[in-house]
């Protein structure tokens, strides 16, 4: 008797979400099987890679910027526009503008300065959709993100993270100015669902919402991220819970590159082996794990890691 | 609906439609039907007509058909001797009025040279300018301000027509509304004066930034408030033009607006008010006009009249069901969770209230909305600065709350919050609750200006912030005179007692709804607590009333009402709908759970249980061990080992996680015979249960001497020893049906 693969039939389907507009718009989601299990359903849209552009130029060997990553951007590191273009050359599907510099505990850049950065990036990349990511400071993000939405109305960009403490301002502006929201909750299925409900109650259609269940790096708790993403996916697909049927975004580069494994030099830790490869592997394997967990948007940093991941995605979802 | 109001509104509407019809004719005669007509910089045309009817008015020639439509809407003025339901016709007349006003205002923009309004997009009104009238807001302003309505930083707006009798009252009203973060939209006049003019006279800054927005001096200019609301529904509420139902409901449910009618209410005002009622916006008047009190289109009353000026804003807030936004706790010391654990020693103490040396208590009481005044804080007796340093004084905190959704059952839940709310103030220590209150205020807090009244301020501000969903008004009285404290203490004690009895008296059979708790699914993903009146949550922190209140406060949270449905098994505690809920909420991991059984599919546990009940097969009995007891138990496992067996959302027959007080419930493993099965408890737990009425429960079970037959670790710590003990004392469990 021929072998038949046992198949699970899922009742639910994840929403298809469109970021940006026109020819260059990026579609994610729309799948009705668990990740990689394409024999049980379809993933019409492959996971995509958003590459980071920072509002404030990082310095060599500052946290998260060992040579492997810094060197790839050193010519463009002071120019967000050129940096974004470089990302497109490296194969980015979209650009993620990281506004880490707006954090009051960092350079405390103003909303106006953030708007300038976004403007430069937009001018450089044209219609490529943008993801605008705040500094994870609740207060500051709810000031900066709405200001950018107002400055660039109806671009249909993705803004995040919106958390329970600041989702109201961010969501209300997204409704008013025509953008999408990435809701971030802390590693908990019910909190993720609750945030989706709250965002929807405010009036934003769930067709405009992406979920960030909190991303951890390989070796630093990725199993928790994996587990919560798996459970959300099962709720969305197996239980057909329509408040959970939204694709994931994972802000992973920051996590992978700040690890000891990425940052320590060979001199500091001879047993770890060559530093550049090590960092790239940290980011790549974190990304692979998140693809297996069902990620739809991977926010990444290093061009080599991006190349590896793009090839992998193409093979897995061809 | 009051016939007088309906007749007046319908009369007014006829007059307005006729007037606007004439104006349109004149305009067409002058400019021709193809002349463009529009508000400045908007994609929503004439917003009311576009939003409600889905029709675009772009040129003068588009107006006459709308007027025809208005005429069709206009009902006959009810005859003197005719008595029929009036609400429908009056609402239609109101709608016709709004369409007519929308056109009347748009006509003002036809000739830019004659337009009475400041340029479109003006946000700030120059105090030196003679013209203060803004007219229609453009889309940029509407978006920017609309965001505030959606995210809640502005709860709503007051559409003020007319003017209060004097400048002083106008300033007071404006300030009061600003403090509540309301937008104040001003139009029309009373005796030739508009409130905005009074404010200007008093030197108050007008404009969108101060939220004091003068639209225009004609009554028709009030339409810009509704135009704003209609555009907000299309822009933020996703209502399509012409989807009138969605436009109106969005406003009723989301935009907390009301009309303040200041001055003589004319037929025109009535007509406009009827229009506003369509949006769910009630009218509050300072003059003596008939009222429309029954609920219906609006959330609560429709027209409330004869309200004095010092009460009119709070009345409007109450009638519209508006929630007050409090951004920061208004006290002279730092406030936040960081100060919660702070201790104040004798050396640093300015004053001590209650504790072992003086009587003190705190109390929360529900009142009717009319009985109390929000944010009224009184200190009855001496204030802190009238005492010597270091003294101990009697103290009472008597809090009165009111809210449309408040229930008497919530009193103790709110009262329990005082502890952590007060403790979060730097330099203020709060220990205990009810009549075992003990507080201290530090020297530093005193020097910073902290007074007793600030305790009331904290409670007012925080109760609004955290419990705004159920609380609309908070009034606080603080007593420091010994006589008065003692007198009130007696009253409070009677209520404490009554509350305990009320909760104790609730039966599972008597309610048709239980509550769920999935708070712990963050770490026990498939665990579901079903909380019933007689089976509190296993953590001991949530009883049925807590869940009910939590649900009212946070309707999307982890506590949801669960209708029981048909009884499946009254003895073991199974209900049709509860079974279904457990199956779904446990992500299909738990098929069903028996609320009253330890043997057949017992309820799962997260890991937060106060205690664990365990079957002892040899003794045909059960034992209970709580978290605080770390020694050996007759089942051979210590609490920590047992916790690993029971937790994590799995069903383990023979083991169940419970709260300590559940042991005293009549439904405590009642499927297996209940309390009579209990043969062993740690000594401390047994003492706790005795304090809470174990003896009485034993009597109710028909075994008055059971208390003495329950062994503790002092009697035995193995099952064999326990079996001998039971035989020795004649424990009833030995005679009961076999457990397994």
Domain at B465, CATH number: 3.30.1650.10
Q: Are residues B163 and B252 in the same domain?
A: yes
Which phi and psi angles does A278 have, rounded to 5°? Answer: -60, -50
Query: How many domains are there within chain B?
Result: 4
B525 close contact with A: CB closer than 8 A: yes
CB contact under 8 A, A171 and B151: yes
Give the residues across from B395 on adjacent strands: B360
Q: Is residue A217 part of a domain?
A: yes
Q: What is the CATH number of the domain that holds B656?
A: 3.40.1470.10
Q: Which of B236, B254, B557 sits opposite A176 (nearest CB)?
A: B236
Give residue B607's pLDDT: 83
Closest CA in chain B for residue A197: B556
Q: Is residue B325 part of a domain?
A: no
Flag whether pLDDT at B1 surpasses 60.
Answer: no
* Residue B564 pLDDT grade (very low, low, confident, very high; cuts 50, 70, 90): very high
User: What is the rounded CA–CA span in Å between residue B682 and residue B710?
Assistant: 10
Query: How many domains are there within chain A?
Result: 1
DSSP letters, A151-191, are HSTT---EEEEE-TTTHHHHHHHHHHHT-EEEEE--S-HHH
pLDDT per position as a tens digit, A179-202: 999 999 999 888 899 899 999 989
CB neighbour class for B505 (10 Å; exposed up to 12, middle 13-18, buried from 19) = exposed
Q: Are residues B420 and B487 in the same domain?
A: yes
CB neighbour class for B70 (10 Å; exposed up to 12, middle 13-18, buried from 19) = buried
Q: Is residue B673 part of a domain?
A: yes
pLDDT per position as a tens digit, B81-115: 666 667 788 999 999 999 999 999 999 999 999 99
Closest CA in chain A for residue B239: A203
**Residue B54, by phi and psi: left (phi above 0), alpha (psi -120 to 50) or beta?**
left
Q: Which of B150, B557, B558 sits opposite A172 (nearest CB)?
A: B150
Closest CA in chain A for residue B151: A168
Determine contact, residues A50/A299, Cβ cutoff 8 Å. yes
Q: What is the CATH number of the domain that holds B109?
A: 1.10.8.190
Q: Are residues B462 and B529 in the same domain?
A: no
Q: Are residues B525 and B399 in the same domain?
A: no
CA–chain centroid gap for A169, Å, is: 21
Give residue A167's pLDDT: 96
Q: Is residue A8 part of a domain?
A: no
Q: What is the CATH number of the domain that holds A194?
A: 3.20.20.20
Would you say the ipTM is above 0.85? no
Q: Are residues B309 and B250 in the same domain?
A: yes
pLDDT per position as a tens digit, B462-479: 999 888 889 999 999 999
Full 3-state SS string of B471-489: CCEEEEEEECCHHHHHHHH
Q: Pick from B474, B501, B528: which residue ends a domain?
A: B501
* Residue B574 pLDDT grade (very low, low, confident, very high; cuts 50, 70, 90): very high
Q: Is residue B283 part of a domain?
A: yes
Q: Is residue B327 part of a domain?
A: no
User: β-strand B574-575 against B567-569: which pairing, if any?
Assistant: antiparallel
How many helices, marked H, and strands, marked E, lie in chain B? 22, 23
Q: Are residues B421 and B542 in the same domain?
A: no
CB contact under 8 A, B556 and A172: no
Q: Are residues B267 and B347 in the same domain?
A: no
Q: Pick from B501, B530, B559: which residue ends a domain?
A: B501
Q: Is residue B130 part of a domain?
A: no
Q: Is residue B119 part of a domain?
A: no
Q: Higher model confidence: residue A147 or residue B6?
A: A147
Q: Pick from B320, B353, B372: which residue ends a domain?
A: B320
Q: Which of B236, B237, B525 sits opposite A189 (nearest CB)?
A: B525
- Dihedral sign of CA atoms B425, B431, B435, B440 in order: negative
B121 close contact with A: CB closer than 8 A: no
- Dihedral sign of CA atoms A253, A257, A262, A267 in order: positive
CB contact under 8 A, A198 and B556: yes
Q: Are residues B315 and B175 in the same domain?
A: yes
Flag whether pLDDT at B204 surpasses 80.
Answer: yes
Measured CA distances, B712 to B598, B642, B727 (Å) = 21, 18, 15
Q: Are residues B456 and B515 in the same domain?
A: no
Closest CA in chain A for residue B153: A169
Residue A169: its chain B contacts at CB < 8 A? 147, 151, 153
B236 close contact with A: CB closer than 8 A: yes
Q: Are residues B104 and B167 in the same domain?
A: no
pLDDT per position as a tens digit, B595-625: 999 999 999 998 889 999 999 999 999 999 9
Identify the three-state secondary structure at position B615.
strand
Full 3-state SS string of A228-274: HHHHHHHHHHCCCCCCCCCCEEEECHHHHHCCHHHHCCCCCCHHHCC
Flag whether pLDDT at B696 surpasses 80.
Answer: yes
User: Domain range spanning residue A104?
Assistant: 16-316
B373 close contact with A: CB closer than 8 A: no
Q: Is residue A9 part of a domain?
A: no
Closest CA in chain A for residue B519: A190
User: What is the rounded CA–CA span in Å between residue B239 and residue B229?
Assistant: 12
Q: Higher model confidence: residue A115 or residue B340?
A: A115
Closest CA to A218 of A281, A286, A298: A286
Task: Compute, in degrees rounded to 10, the torsion defined by CA atoms B77, B78, B79, B80.
Answer: -120
Q: Are residues B65 and B183 in the same domain?
A: no
Give the residues across from B442 on adjacent strands: B349
Measured CA distances, B287 to A315, B111, B291 (Å) = 76, 38, 11
pLDDT per position as a tens digit, A226-238: 999 999 999 899 8
User: Domain range spanning residue B465?
Assistant: 337-501
* Residue A117 pLDDT grade (very low, low, confident, very high; cuts 50, 70, 90): very high
Residues of A with CB under 8 A from a CB of B: 146, 150, 153, 168-169, 171-173, 175-177, 187-191, 194, 197-198, 201-203, 205, 231, 234-235, 239
Q: Are residues B583 and B720 in the same domain?
A: yes
Q: Is residue B574 part of a domain?
A: yes
CB contact under 8 A, A171 and B146: no
Q: Is residue B703 part of a domain?
A: yes
- Dihedral sign of CA atoms B726, B731, B735, B738 in order: negative
User: What is the rounded CA–CA span in Å between residue B655 and residue B612?
Assistant: 7
CB contact under 8 A, B146 and A176: yes
Residue A175: its chain B contacts at CB < 8 A? 147, 150, 235-236
Q: What is the CATH number of the domain that holds B219?
A: 3.40.50.2030
Flag whether pLDDT at B497 surpasses 70.
Answer: yes
Q: Is residue A28 part of a domain?
A: yes
Cis peptide bond upstream of A161, omega within 30: yes
Q: Is residue A3 part of a domain?
A: no
Angle between helices B63-73 and B87-107 (to 10 degrees): 160
User: What is the rounded CA–CA span in Å between residue A285 and residue A298?
Assistant: 12
A203, A206, A243, best to mutate vs chain B, most B CBs in 10 Å: A203
């Amino acid at each position: 008797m021929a072998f038949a693969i046992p198949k699970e039939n899922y009742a639910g389907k994840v929403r298809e979400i469109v970021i940006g507009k026109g020819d260059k718009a990026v579609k994610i989601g729309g799948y009705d099987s668990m990740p990689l299990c394409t024999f049980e359903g379809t993933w019409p849209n492959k996971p995509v890679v958003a590459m980071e552009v920072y509002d404030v130029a990082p310095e060599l060997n500052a946290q998260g910027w060992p040579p492997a990553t810094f060197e790839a951007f050193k010519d463009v590191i002071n120019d967000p526009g050129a940096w974004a273009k470089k990302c497109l050359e490296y194969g980015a599907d979209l650009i993620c503008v990281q506004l880490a510099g707006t954090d009051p505990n960092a350079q405390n850049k103003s909303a106006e300065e953030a708007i300038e950065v976004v403007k430069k990036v937009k001018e450089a990349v044209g219609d490529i959709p943008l993801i605008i990511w705040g500094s994870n400071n609740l207060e500051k993000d709810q000031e900066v993100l709405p200001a950018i939405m107002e400055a660039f109305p109806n671009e249909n960009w993705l803004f995040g993270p919106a958390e329970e403490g600041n989702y109201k301002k961010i969501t209300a502006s997204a409704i008013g100015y025509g953008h999408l929201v990435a809701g971030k909750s802390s590693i908990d299925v019910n909190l993720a669902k609750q945030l989706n409900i709250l965002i929807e109650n405010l009036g934003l259609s769930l067709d405009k919402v992406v979920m960030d269940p909190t991303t951890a790096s390989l070796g630093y708790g990725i199993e928790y991220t994996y587990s919560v993403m798996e459970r959300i996916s099962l709720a969305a697909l197996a239980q057909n819970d329509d408040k959970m049927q939204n694709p994931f975004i994972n802000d992973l580069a920051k996590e992978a590159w700040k690890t000891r494994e990425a940052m320590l030099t060979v001199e500091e830790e001879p047993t770890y082996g060559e530093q550049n490869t090590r960092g790239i592997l940290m980011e790549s394997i974190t990304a692979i794990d998140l693809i297996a967990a069902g990620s739809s948007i991977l926010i990444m940093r290093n061009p080599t890691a991006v190349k590896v991941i793009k090839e992998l995605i193409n093979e897995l979802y061809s | 609906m009051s016939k007088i109001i309906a007749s007046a509104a319908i009369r007014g509407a006829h007059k307005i439609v006729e007037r606007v019809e004439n104006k349109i004719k004149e305009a067409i005669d002058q400019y021709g039907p193809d002349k463009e007509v529009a508000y400045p910089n908007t994609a929503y045309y004439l917003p009311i007509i576009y939003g409600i009817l889905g029709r675009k008015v772009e040129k003068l020639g588009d107006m006459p058909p709308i007027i025809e439509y208005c005429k069709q809407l206009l009902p006959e003025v009810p005859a003197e001797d005719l008595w029929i339901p009036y609400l429908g016709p009056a609402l239609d007349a109101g709608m016709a009025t709004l369409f007519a006003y929308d056109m009347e205002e748009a006509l003002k923009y036809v000739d830019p040279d004659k337009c009475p309004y400041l340029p479109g997009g003006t946000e700030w009104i120059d105090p030196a300018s003679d013209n203060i009238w803004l007219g229609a807001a453009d889309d940029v302003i509407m978006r920017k301000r609309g965001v505030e309505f959606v995210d809640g930083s502005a709860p709503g707006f007051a559409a003020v027509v007319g003017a209060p009798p004097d400048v002083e009252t106008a300033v007071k009203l404006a300030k009061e509304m600003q403090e509540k973060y309301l937008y104040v939209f001003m139009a029309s006049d009373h005796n030739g004066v508009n409130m905005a003019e009074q404010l200007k006279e008093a030197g108050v800054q007008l404009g969108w930034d101060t939220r004091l927005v003068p639209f225009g001096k004609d009554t028709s200019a009030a339409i810009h408030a509704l135009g704003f609301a209609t555009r907000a529904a299309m822009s933020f509420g996703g209502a399509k033009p012409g989807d009138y139902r969605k436009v109106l409901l969005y406003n009723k449910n989301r935009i907390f607006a009301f009309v303040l009618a200041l001055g003589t209410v004319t037929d025109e005002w009535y007509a406009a008010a009827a229009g506003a009622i369509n949006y769910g916006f009630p009218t509050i008047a300072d003059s003596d006009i008939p009222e429309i009190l029954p609920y219906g289109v609006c959330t609560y009353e429709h027209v409330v009249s004869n309200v004095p000026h010092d009460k009119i804003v709070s009345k409007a807030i109450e009638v519209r069901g508006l929630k007050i936004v409090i951004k920061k706790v208004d006290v002279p010391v730092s406030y936040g969770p960081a100060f919660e654990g702070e201790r104040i020693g004798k050396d640093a103490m300015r004053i001590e209230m209650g504790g072992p040396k003086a009587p003190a208590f705190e109390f929360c009481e529900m009142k009717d909305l009319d009985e109390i005044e929000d944010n009224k804080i009184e200190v009855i007796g001496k204030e802190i600065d009238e005492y010597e340093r270091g003294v101990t004084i009697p103290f009472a905190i008597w809090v009165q709350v009111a809210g449309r959704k408040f229930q008497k059952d919530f009193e103790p839940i709110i009262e329990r919050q005082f502890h952590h709310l007060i403790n979060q103030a730097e330099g203020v220590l709060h220990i205990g609750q009810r009549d075992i209150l003990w507080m201290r205020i530090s020297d530093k807090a005193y020097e910073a200006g902290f007074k007793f009244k600030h305790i009331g301020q904290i409670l007012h501000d925080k109760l609004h912030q955290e419990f705004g969903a159920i609380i609309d008004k908070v009034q606080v009285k603080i007593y420091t005179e010994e006589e008065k404290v003692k007198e009130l203490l007696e009253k409070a004690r009677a209520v404490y007692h009554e509350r305990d009895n009320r909760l104790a008296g609730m039966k599972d059979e008597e309610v048709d709804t239980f509550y769920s708790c999935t708070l712990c699914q963050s770490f026990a993903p498939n665990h579901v607590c079903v909380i019933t009146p007689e089976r509190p949550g296993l953590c001991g922190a949530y009883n049925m009333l807590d869940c009910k209140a939590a649900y009212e406060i946070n309707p999307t949270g982890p506590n949801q009402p669960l209708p029981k449905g048909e009884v499946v098994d009254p003895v073991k505690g199974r209900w049709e709908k509860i079974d279904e809920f457990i199956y779904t909420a446990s992500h299909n991991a738990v098929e069903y759970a028996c609320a009253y059984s330890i043997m057949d599919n017992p309820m799962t546990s997260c890991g937060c249980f106060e205690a664990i009940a365990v079957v002892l097969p040899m003794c045909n009995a059960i034992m209970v061990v709580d978290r605080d007891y770390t020694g050996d138990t007759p089942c051979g496992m210590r609490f920590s080992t047992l916790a690993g067996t029971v937790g994590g959302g799995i069903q383990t027959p023979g083991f169940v996680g419970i709260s300590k007080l559940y042991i005293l419930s009549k439904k405590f493993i009642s499927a297996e015979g209940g309390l009579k099965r209990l043969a062993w408890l740690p000594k401390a737990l047994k003492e706790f249960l005795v304090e809470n009425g174990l003896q009485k429960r034993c009597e109710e079970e028909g075994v008055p001497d059971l208390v003495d037959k329950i062994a503790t670790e002092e009697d035995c710590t193995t099952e064999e020893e326990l079996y001998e003990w039971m035989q020795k004392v004649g424990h009833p469990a030995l005679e009961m049906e076999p457990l397994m």
